[in-house]
Amino acid sequence: MALKMSDTSGTSPEKTAQSMQSVETAKAVKSAETTEAATSIEAQGLTAHKESSTNACLQSRHLQSRNAALKIARCALMGAMIIGVKAALSGLPNFEMVTLLIILFAIHFGREVFWAVAVFNLCEFVYWGGGTWWVAYLYIWNLVALFAVLLRDKIGDDSLLWAAYSAVCGLFFGGLCSLVYIFIPDVNPWGYFIAGLPWDIVHGVCNFILMLALFKPLNRALQKVSKRKNKNELP
């Protein structure tokens, strides 16, 4: 009886050790499986994040390219419109709508107007060739656009003030053109300005009347175009 109990007590620790070892092995296997699953989930998450970031980046680039294309097309169209109205009224001396359109484009499209002016000046050079008048165009129309951009928030939609600004542009047009002759010998810029002053007065009066008559309808039309522009483009 004692011998039998001794045998039982001798084998019990071995079974206990084996049982504990089996439990530890099971825990280790389970821990390894859990770690592997977590690693797999983390890898999937990183992959999904990378794919999402790549898609967002590609979409942003696509929209930026689209916006750039729209801006180029819009500037080219504005330049073409300026060229068109100048050609249509070319038979009437000192009667032009270039100033009117540049001011309106500056109000609604801001700095894009300078690209429109560049298109206009380039086409004028290609068609007519260079000359002192073209050199004057390079800075006169850009000055008209610059001050319109600077004044658009202060003047707003006040057609009378814009008509006054347009008249000033016409009155000083000849004076600004005469600045080119400062660099040409044997030509008196002051005499050139005085000789053309009556035409500049007519120019200023015509600009005032045109702006006062056409500002409101053209401004409303361009407001609609500007709203579409803001909807279709990224800020």
Can you give the pLDDT at residue 18? 62
Can you give the pLDDT at residue 156? 92
Please name the residue ranges forming H helices in the chain.
Answer: 2-88, 98-109, 112-128, 132-155, 159-171, 173-178, 189-232
More confident site: 102 or 230: 102
- What pTM value is reported for the model? 0.73
3-class state of residue 47 by DSSP: helix
Can you give the pLDDT at residue 6? 44
Using pLDDT thresholds of 50, 70 and 90, give the confidence band for residue 173. very high
Can you give the pLDDT at residue 107? 95
Nearest Cα to 119, choosing from 89, 158, 76, 182?
76
Distance CA 163, CA 119 (A): 25
pLDDT at 124 exceeding the cut of 80: yes
Q: Residue ranges per domain, the chain?
A: 76-232
For 67-92, the pLDDT digits (tens) are 888 889 999 999 999 999 999 998 88
| CATH architecture for the domain at 76-232 | Orthogonal Bundle (1.10)
